Structure 1
Amino acid sequence: MSTPFPERDPCPDRILDDLGGAFAMGAVGGSVFHFAKGTYNSPNGARLAGGMQALRMNAPRIGGAFAVWGGLFSVFNCTAVFVRQKEDPWNSVIAGAATHGSLNLRRGLGAAARSAVFGGCLLALIEGVGIVLNNVVDESARPQPPVDDPNLAAATATATGGGGFQASNDFQ
């Protein structure tokens, strides 16, 4: 089985890439969200300034939270790859469970266990949808045999026992 991400960097380098990508995604998404929220909640004369202030205050915090999640996920994913010696979707499920569980350890072992189960199920769902979509795309990308191929017609006639629809020339 080929790796799901053949173009990805090897594991130690992947951690920094994922950490930076998660920070950027959180910062951009947080910027858009908090700018819109700050603009909406500001008084009429200061909507733009209110949106910019909310953006400056909250976007780095959201980006940092995303970076923590992405960095932990990447570390646990690389650890699973190292321990299991294979790259497959189960590594992401294990990493998702470990990430969610470790982020909730401060709330106690029960909360961490529940969060780990939720994280594992969430990543299993995401990986399952990815596998199904890859199979659908692979099926649609596979070249279809041409319809007027004489070899296909002969193979079809042989497979159906020679009987098939025979056209007649009654309409000449």
Structure 2
Amino acid sequence: MASVDHGREPCPHRIFDDVGGAFAMGAVGGGVVNLVKGAYNAPRGFALASAAEAIRREAPRIGGSFAVWGGLFSAFDCALVAARRKEDPWNPIISGAATGGALQLRYGLPSAARSAAFGGFLLAVIEGISIMLTRL
């Protein structure tokens, strides 16, 4: 059984903390990707201006998408901790599946089911690697 992560904020505050962290990661990562894309696709002599415009246009959007995912994931995680009264690797796995499914519900149940399965699988891999690394 994995140990409880005592280094995190308690549950109501964890959601806001994770939303901010996810937005920052998405904005920075989206900024880097769009810096390269903007410079690569720019006409000759306009690489810097095109890169800056691509960052200005796309980085906040990507950051917002990451923030929505992070907030929903943390909300599901906190709900599971409250319902199950324990923190174990199953909470993030179920939260990842629920988040993936919830975000795809507008495209129909088959799409939501596929996304939920992928989200659960992805979080299971991450939790498995985390457990392996803590046992080394």
Q: Which runs of 5+ in 2 are unaligned?
A: none
> How far is the alpha carbon of 1:13 from its aligned partner?
0.3
1:121 and 1:131 map into 2 onto residues whose CA distance is: 15
> How far is the alpha carbon of 1:56 from its aligned partner?
0.2
Correspondence for 1:135:
135
1:161-172 equivalences under 5 Å are none
2:31 and 2:124 map into 1 onto residues whose CA distance is: 29
Correspondence for 1:143:
none
1:78-117 equivalences under 5 Å are 78-117=78-117
Greater relative contact order: 1 or 2 (C-alpha under 8 angstroms, separation 6 or more)? Answer: 2
1:59 and 1:82 map into 2 onto residues whose CA distance is: 34
1:122 and 1:46 map into 2 onto residues whose CA distance is: 39
Which residue identity does 1:64 align to in structure 2? G
Which residue identity does 2:119 align to in structure 1? G
1:1-172 equivalences under 5 Å are 2-3=3-4, 5-136=5-136
Which residue identity does 2:72 align to in structure 1? L
CA RMSD of aligned residues (A): 0.8
1:105 and 1:10 map into 2 onto residues whose CA distance is: 29
1:114 and 1:31 map into 2 onto residues whose CA distance is: 29
Q: Which runs of 5+ in 1 are unaligned?
A: 137-172
Q: Percent identity of the aligned residues?
A: 61
Describe the superposition over 1:8-39 as per-residue Cα deviations: whole angstroms up to 9, x where unpaired: 01000000000000000000000011011101
> How far is the alpha carbon of 1:61 from its aligned partner?
0.3
TM-score when normalising by structure 1: 0.77
1:132 and 1:33 map into 2 onto residues whose CA distance is: 31
> How far is the alpha carbon of 1:2 from its aligned partner?
3.0
What is the DSSP-based 3-state SS (H/G/I as helix, E as strand, rest coil) of the residue aligned with 1:45? Answer: coil
TM-score when normalising by structure 2: 0.97
2:59 and 2:34 map into 1 onto residues whose CA distance is: 7
- Give the aligned length: 135
1:126 and 1:50 map into 2 onto residues whose CA distance is: 36
The 4+ residue runs of structure 1 with deviation greater than 2 A are: none
Which residue identity does 2:130 align to in structure 1? G
> How far is the alpha carbon of 1:85 from its aligned partner?
0.3
Which residue identity does 2:117 align to in structure 1? V
